[in-house]
Chain A
Amino acid sequence: MTEKKPIGAPRGNQNARRHGFYSRVLDEAQKLQLDQAREVEGIDEEIALMRVKLLTLMSEHPQRLDLQMQAFTTITSMVRTKLHISAGGNRSLKDAIAKVLTDIAVPLGIKAFIQ
């Protein structure tokens, strides 16, 4: 006698898992935000957000120099990180442009490469 095959996905399967490790502590709205956050590249938005926060602090709590300095230090650190990332990217940018030139532009006979 053959054993009856159970219907449906096996217990404990991960088919419905969409949001990874942190999703267990997020509500539905936050899971949507997580999807949107994945689309963001670089830290420009975070730097801009910190600048707005600093402005708010200066406006609403002008006497709290300690908090303002803390925000300023954070922005400085973020900008330094951004520049560090960019500096590392310059070498790879040259390499990437060279690869596009040799692999795509040259076979197409394109001479006026960079506009």
Chain B
Amino acid sequence: MELRPYQQEVAKAIFDSILLGKGLTFSVEIARQGGKNELSAHIEVLLLTMFIAKGGTSIKCSPTFKPQTLISMTRLKDRLDEFGYDGIWQAEFGYIVRLGAARQVFLSADESSNVVGHTADILLKVDESQDINQDKCSRYKDTVTDLSDERIDNDLYLI
């Protein structure tokens, strides 16, 4: 599935920031059914491929584990299979998808969830960030900043 021009525009800006180490933050607003999650899955597939040897972690957090996080994970797994990675990617602990040395971590921003303990050294995405408690958002950012301030390449907020 090819990205549409407006999706490509977003992806180009994000990868430009990641590859050049600009560390920018993006807020992306796309109309319902406009392909926001598809764009997200494509970005994840490309990042997992690019960092397959070097390794690294991207984190995507959604307001709830069920259904949003589960839907995101399923979509990524489906895309990986479609691109021919079936039998190559691995699931870890029920919320991580690993391809070689690269990992995509899926976290929930439920009030009860614990977001401490992961480091987003490639990309941090917040899905539906308008629905996520601001304190929780800050904790996500704190988690990344506290643990690896010098390693942050990019923060992305997908709204």
Type the 1/0 row for B20-60, where 1 means its CB is closer than 8 Å to any CB of A: 00000000000000000000001001100111111010000
Residue of B11, B52, B83, B85 near A103 (CB, 8 A) is B83
Residue of B3, B15, B87, B91 near A92 (CB, 8 A) is B87
Whether B53 and A104, one on each chain, are in contact in the complex, defined by CB atoms closer than 8 angstroms, is: no
Interface size class of B (residues with CB under 8 A): 20 to 34
B67 within 8 A of A: no
B84 within 8 A of A: yes
**Complex Cα distance A115/B52, Å?**
8
Whether B87 and A89, one on each chain, are in contact in the complex, defined by CB atoms closer than 8 angstroms, is: yes
Whether B53 and A115, one on each chain, are in contact in the complex, defined by CB atoms closer than 8 angstroms, is: yes
Can you report 24 residue pairs joining A to B where beta carbons are below 8 Å apart?
A: A41-B89, A85-B87, A89-B88, A92-B84, A92-B86, A92-B87, A92-B88, A96-B49, A96-B88, A99-B84, A100-B45, A100-B46, A103-B2, A104-B3, A104-B45, A107-B8, A108-B11, A108-B12, A112-B19, A113-B49, A113-B50, A114-B50, A114-B52, A114-B53
